[in-house]
Amino acid sequence: MRTLLSVALNIIWLVTAGWSLFLAYVVAGILACLLVVTIPMGVASFRIAGFVIWPFGREVVDTGRAGVASGIGNVLWFLVAGWWLALGHVVTAIAQAVTIIGIPLAWANLKLIPVTCFPFGKQVVDSDSARARMLPSAR
């Protein structure tokens, strides 16, 4: 049942916001890859693009491996592209929230803003994997 709901939400998402947000992340990734030093930002943008086009049933979790380089990368990313992409999420969320069916999609759109602004030190996983990480391990 959860999978069917995720597929239905993803299809509606794809039509209402997914394709345009995906294209924005791909363009940001291509621009970031023009310089050698910003290639990690391009890779992060492509990773988020894959998540943004089909987000339901997946979640973003901290890797626990973020260091100083990730922090610096997050600040640079935010200044150059993150806030523009976050603005795109806000605009599409407002457009989605106009209808009752779009309200959960708008909420999901707003939940994507933290990873949009600070992508380094994050990983996209299946929702089931994310829940398993949060459960205390049985010994």
Q: For position 62, what pLDDT does the model report?
A: 85
Q: For position 52, what pLDDT does the model report?
A: 92
Listed residue (21, 76, 12) closest to 48, CA to CA = 21
d(CA 78, CA 48): 14
Max CA separation in the chain (angstroms): 49
Each residue's pLDDT tens digit, 94-122:
999 998 888 989 998 998 999 999 999 88
Phi, psi of 87 (to 5 degrees): -60, -40
Global pTM? 0.82
Query: Domain locations in the chain?
Result: 2-127
Spans in the chain with pLDDT lower than 50: 138-139
Q: For position 49, what pLDDT does the model report?
A: 94
Q: For position 41, what pLDDT does the model report?
A: 92
Q: For position 92, what pLDDT does the model report?
A: 93
